[in-house]
Amino acid sequence: MIIQVGASTIFGILMGILFKNTFIINNIDSLIDIGLCMLLFFVGIDMGKNQNIFTELQKFGYKILLLPLAIISGSLAGGVISSFITDLSIAESSAISAGLGWYSLSAIELSKHSAELGSVAFLSNVFREITSLLFIPFIGKYIGHNETIAAAGATSMDTLLPVITKSTSSNTAVISFFTGVILSSLVPLLVPLIIGFN
20-72: pLDDT as tens digits: 777 877 777 677 677 767 766 776 676 567 666 666 667 777 778 899 999 99
If 0-12 CB within 10 Å is exposed, 13-18 middle and 19+ buried, where does residue 79 land?
A: buried
Determine, yes or no, domain membership for 36.
yes
What lies within 8 Å, CB to CB, of 67 at 6+ separation is 146, 149, 150, 175, 179
- Give the DSSP letter of residue 158: T
Determine, yes or no, domain membership for 169.
yes
Determine, yes or no, domain membership for 2.
no
Q: What local confidence, expressed as pLDDT, does residue 69 receive?
A: 95
Q: What percentage of residues in the chain have a pLDDT greater than 70?
A: 86
Determine, yes or no, domain membership for 24.
no
Determine, yes or no, domain membership for 1.
no
For 110, the domain range is: 30-195
Determine, yes or no, domain membership for 21.
no
Q: What is the pLDDT averaged over residues 104-119?
A: 89
Q: What is the pLDDT averaged over residues 94-103?
A: 94
Determine, yes or no, domain membership for 117.
yes
Total structural domains in the chain?
A: 1
